Structure 1
């Protein structure tokens, strides 16, 4: 669950910073479809591979509020320069993402590197902390 939330948060940041189209498809390292997003105004809707709604993210200034499929607040992300800080629903720091060129590095609340995302050939490729490919996003 923690990895799924981290993946969703990181994807939202990358999608918002790249100003890409309104619909994206997520795939695992084997190329299997795992979910999708669609944008409706300032809200991004997350769906699983079957099309069921899993949650949403709403942009409010420099802060993004994440909600589950029932509308309950699950966390937030706020931008500070090139770094995005992730917080849980109580405001506790859960991690960060730093953009450096075409690479985004993800870190946990202690500052340990947990993974990265790189733009390669129009796709976003996700890797774990060891450099193993874990997934991708395409239009």
Structure 2
């Protein structure tokens, strides 16, 4: 995952962390109070973390297994918000979880829409990382 514009170091806990450096200026996105509000395409996500290296599509490496979770295609998920720091942090957390240095996360929380798609309620940044990595689907859990 190391790139010319990122560094790896050992944090206070001794865990490896990747720190992205450089411009995090989003392209093709509108901003509202520091939150990216129109973000659905991969190129826009990658503009937030230009040094990003795609993560392998392996849900077991990043997510806590949950028998109630379903794999939902990313094309059916509608992100409800996104922060560039959140996307950057999600990429780091997922990398650490895959290496066993951080706890895995719960499945993405979603709510079914009238049009058949799903609103992402929790896990928008993780979904952005999956999109940037060109995954096909991601584990989700419907909330009522």
State if a TM-score over 0.5 links the two structures.
no
Q: Shorter-chain TM-score: which interval?
A: under 0.3
Structure number with higher helix proportion: 2
Taking structure 2 as the reference length, the TM-score comes to 0.26
Structure number with higher strand proportion: 1
Taking structure 1 as the reference length, the TM-score comes to 0.27
Higher RCO (C-alpha under 8 Å, 6+ residues apart): 2
Bigger radius of gyration among the two: 2
